[in-house]
Structure 1
Amino acid sequence: MDFDTLLAHYRAKACVISVEFFPDGSYGNIRVVAGNQAHCADMEALLHHPFVPGSPYETCFPKNQNFEDHCYRCVHSGQPIHAYVDLYMMGLWLNMFLIPLESDRPNFGYCIYCYDVTPKANTTAMADLSGETASAVLKACIKLRGAEDIKKAFQDVVEDIRVICGSDHCCILLTDSEKRECSIFGESLREGAALLPMSRYIEGFYAIAETWPKTLAGSTCIIVKDERDMKKLRLQNPIFGSILDLANVKSIVLFPLRHGNETLGYMWTLNFNVDDVLKIKETLELTTFFIASEIASYKLLDKLSIMSSIDSLTGIKNRNVMNNRVDRIVAGAEPVPKAVLFADLNGLKRMNDRQGHTAGDKMLRSAAAILQGIFLEEEVYRAGGDEFVLLISNITEDELQKRVEKIRWKSNMTEDVRFSIGVCYGEPDVRRAMRLADLQMYDDKNSYYSVHPELKYR
């Protein structure tokens, strides 16, 4: 066959790929047997020497098991294949087309590989999908974008994807490299499936997940369709392979969830309909792109929520959260607390002036820890620089006094933490209760400084 003449009609980068295949369904050598002018020029620029027809494909393109599988499927099935791939290791996007050709050699198949590489995602190419895939992806995007309860929306999307894939199990797993932990963000398990929920494996699972980047080796995903693929995976990643065997997993498609240069986690589907592997890959390839973006937004909003509600120095709730709770109580949306407690640190300014703010910060953290340890069931608020507040939901007056004494006892066990405390019990007006507790706290502070005048403001 005159491949050179055939390729001369292609203006885009194009080459002819040969695939050797065997009766048992496996394949052997994959080679680039010819290339058009655009391909040869590209190879010469990359390889710094002329393109050599008949070269193993990995001398022209990065070695990739998914690419090999695409080539084999194209020549073996006689069906064209299109894929739009994020070459994240290279910071590029690949738009590729595989078109099968007739072969005049037994056990050899040929296809035209036409491709284009860009540094940024092309929305037109990304949207060039089958109607069925586009519908599935659009449905997922609408659910995620219009959701008030984002966690429930992700759960619904995971369930939809499991059904599309005809699989036993689908899961979104988030990874935290700092804490070396994994968390389940969404999971769907088919009723009657011979698999266990991910919660049975989650403890210590980060050690498994951190092996996946090496197994991916630059690929966009891991696809295991049958026992032959599973054998390859066991050789590449024996630990992961053994876990899949123990879990009774026969097939898996696993995609990393990347946003920018960060891997947020992974999404997989287990024991899927292998006859639809290309449709499943196409669906997940684009769906995970949007899922990763939504997860990144969710994590950012969650982080901003934490920053707006948590005192960064002590780790307890801040004044914003306290004020919001008081507003809800006044509006009748939350029960009036049984008691209000104000606790103010004595000698913080003196500590900052004499030993520095590092020592003062340590003193504040110790104070917060004492209060939180005694009122484990309650929220402790840092209402100001050295002032802490508790709105106590359910407590008797006797128990409240016991805990106040415990605060004093525990603080006296430390070198420098000393509290002035004011409480108000049983007042139905929460704002009046806070004023009364505040006044009592200042009376206690004046008493403290009358005994220790040397500590006052110096």
Structure 2
Amino acid sequence: MNLQDIVNRFHTMTSILSVEKRNDDKIGTIRIEVGNDLYIRSMEKVDEDGNVVFKQKFVPGSSYERYMKKELYFENLCYECAIKKKPVHAYIRPERYNFSINLIMMPLDIKDPNKAYCTYSQEITFEEDLDAMSNISAKTSSTVLQTCIKLRGAKNLQETMDEVIEDIRKICDASYCCVLLTDFNENTWSVFSDSVKAGSNQHSIREYKDQNFTEYAKTWLKFLDGSLCLMIKNDADLELIHQADLTWYNSLVNANVESLVLLPLQYSGTNIGFIWVTNFDTSNTVYIRETLELSAFFVASEIANYQLLNRLEILSNQDLLTGLLNRNSMNNRISQFVNGEISYKSLAVIFADLNGLKPVNDNQGHDAGDNLLKQAAQVLRTTFKDSECYRAGGDEFLVIAIDQPKEELEAKVEKIRQDSMIPGHISFAIGLSYDENGGKIRKALHEADTLMYEDKNRYYERFPGHRRRF
């Protein structure tokens, strides 16, 4: 059979790949046996950014690693098609190139004791092809559609995501499924959702809170190198990780990981985290890959929107300089008290006015003044850690304490008042109103404000040069 004649009949970029047959669980050498003219020219062409797929001139029958770096994702596709005789379709958006690849692979019935063969046809597009992205099996479509419907209709995204991740773990017949969020700028990580199979030897990574998973995640990105998916099916695949990164390999072995599918979660070109399953059904890799790739798209979108809403919530309720709750949040809280939406037995209101801010602004500059405000906020946050602390505006702060002992609050206020008299310490004028029978919030606010201004006058009597002059 003349392989070149076969590919020459295709009107799309097409090659024929061979996969070495082996008796163990390793994927044998993968070769690009032949390619039609469209395929070869496209692979050797340098784009406007200087990128080229093939690093070497095409030589029929050479290992694919002659032209590009080893790629487990690609190898698994070839194995599924050539060795297991399954048609394969995938839509790839490699980060390192400015184009996407819509690929179709079909097994070939060629009698060869040493190799199995398949065709590899691809279409390169510079814009995302939604039709190609959605061209998946009916089984995968149904599964992912259910995920999408659940997420879109979620009133509580956290609870719904937990349900979706449990579903995905069961679909993959995996021992563990996890969504890990990462922030490489802040070097932080968090588990958004995970699911552990009962009776398995897997554990939630929440138990490893002392480890820095952002460092592991950087390794994952390096290993993925723009690929949409990393699939580790057996010891042979794990050995590749062993050779590339011993620390990551040891962590997988120590966690009893025998197989792994790992995908980055990306939104608007930004990596926001990862989703993965461990110890999955390795006999069903095509369906699992399709399901996870498309599910990751919707999971990333919902989480990104959730994070955006949380940031907007923070912006509307948090003072960006001090990190305390802001005036808008304070007014909303007071309205809740006035409208009877809050039940309480005792109510305490504390007004605190930062002393000496104007001289610092005038003599040292507003950066120094901002630092003083942040230090003042930290004093209040630490002292009244069980209460609600607000920046009411400028150098004024408000603390609301519900159902807390009067003696404890009086002791804290007195401690701040005494510290304020020590040179070099953060200095406040402070007033406390306490009603053990609850009382009205507006009355408490007025009383605390009055007491605070009395304390302020005593401060000005002690330091007359600090009186505000506008």
Tell me if both proteins adopt one fold, taking TM over 0.5 as the criterion. Answer: yes
Q: Report the counterpart of residue 39 of structure 2 in structure 1.
A: 39
Q: Do the aligned residues in 2 keep the contact of 1:227 with 1:250 (CA within 8 Å)?
A: yes
Letter in 1 for 2:75: E
Q: Could you tell me how far apart the structure 1 residues matched to 2:421 and 2:99 are? A: 62
Instruction: Kindly provide the amino acid, as one letter, of the partner of residue 40 in structure 2.
Output: C
Whether contact under 8 Å (2:55, 2:66) holds in the other structure is no
Q: What does residue 20 of structure 1 align with?
A: 20
Q: Relative to structure 2, which stretch is displaced further, 47-56 or 302-311?
A: 47-56
1:244–1:48 distance in 2 versus 1, CA, 3 Å: closer
Pick aligned residue for 1:408 from 406, 417, 422: 417
Contact 2:318 2:325 (8 Å CA) reproduced: yes
Distance 2:42 2:185 in 1: 41
Aligned to 1:176: 183
CA deviation after TM superposition for structure 1 residue 175, in Å: 1.7
Deviations 1:323-361 (A, max 9, x none): 121122222221355111111123322321222112211
Structure 2: runs of 5 or more not aligned: 47-53
Report the counterpart of residue 75 of structure 2 in structure 1: 68
1:63 Cα deviation after fit: 3.5
Residue by residue over 1:176-210, the C-alpha shift from the partner in whole angstroms, topping out at 9 and shown as x without a partner, is: 22343321110111111122222222321423333
Contact 1:175 1:182 in 2 (8 A): yes
CA distance in structure 2 between the aligned counterparts of 1:416 and 1:190, rounded to whole angstroms: 55
Q: Which stretch shifts more, 136-145 or 174-183?
A: 174-183
> More deviation in 306-315 or 93-102?
306-315
- Paired residues of 2:56 and 2:67 also in contact (CA < 8 A): no
SS at the partner of 1:95? strand
Aligned residue number for residue 140 of structure 1? 147
CA gap 1:257/1:61 in 2 versus in 1, 3 angstroms: same
Matched, 1:431 2:438: no
Aligned residues: 458
Paired with 1:444 and 1:14, the residues of 2 have a C-alpha distance of 84
Matched residues in 2 for 1:48 and 1:255: separation?
26
Identity percentage of aligned residues: 40
Q: Structure 1's 25 and 388: CA in aligned 2 closer, same or farther, altered over 3 A?
A: closer
In structure 1, list runs of 5 or more residues that go unmatched.
Answer: none
Taking structure 1 as reference, are residues 455 and 62 closer, same or farther at Cα in structure 2, changes over 3 Å only?
same
**Does the residue aligned with 1:376 lie in a helix, a strand or coil?**
coil
Q: Does 2:273 match 1:273?
A: no
* Distance verdict in 2 for CA 1:400–1:100, change over 3 Å: closer
Residue 325 (1) aligns with residue 333 (2) = yes
SS in structure 1 opposite 2:29?
strand
2:181 is aligned with 1:188:
no
Shift of residue 9 of structure 1?
2.7
Per-residue deviation, 1:448: 2.9
Task: Return the offset for 1:12.
Answer: 1.5
SS of aligned partner of 1:365: helix
CA distance in 2, matches of 1:21, 1:214: 30
Structure 1 equivalent of residue 360 of structure 2: 351
CA distance in 2, matches of 1:49, 1:196: 45
Hey, what does 2:49 align to over in structure 1?
none
Q: Which residue of 1 aligns with 2:51?
A: none
Counterparts of 2:463 and 2:247, CA distance in 1? 65
How much has 1:19 moved relative to structure 2?
2.0
Q: Does 2:222 align with 1:214?
A: yes
Deviation at 1:393, TM superposition (A): 0.8
Deviates more, 1:185-194 or 1:345-354: 345-354
2:204 to 191, 194, 197: 197
2-side partners of 1:154 and 1:62: how far apart? 36
Change (3 A) 1:242 1:418: closer
Q: What whole-Å deviation, never above 9, does each CA across 1:47-76 have from its counterpart, x for those lacking one?
A: 598643323323455541221221122111
- The equivalent of 1:366 in structure 2 is 375
Indicate yes or no: 2:404 matched with 1:395.
Answer: yes
Cα offset for 1:158? Answer: 0.5
3-state secondary structure, aligned to 1:383: strand
Matched, 1:300 2:308: yes
What are the equivalent positions in structure 2 for 1:40-119 lying under 5 Å apart? Answer: 40-46=40-46, 51-60=58-67, 63-119=70-126
CA distance in 1, matches of 2:406, 2:279: 60
Q: Check conservation: 1:64, 1:218, Cα contact below 8 A.
A: no
2:133 corresponds to: 126
Q: Kindly provide the amino acid, as one letter, of the partner of residue 429 in structure 2.
A: S
Q: Which moved more, 1:108-117 or 1:179-188?
A: 179-188
Displacement, 1:304? 2.1
Structure 2 equivalent of residue 166 of structure 1: 173
Residue 87 (structure 1) shift: 0.8
Change over 3 Å in CA distance of 1:259–1:334 after alignment to 2: same
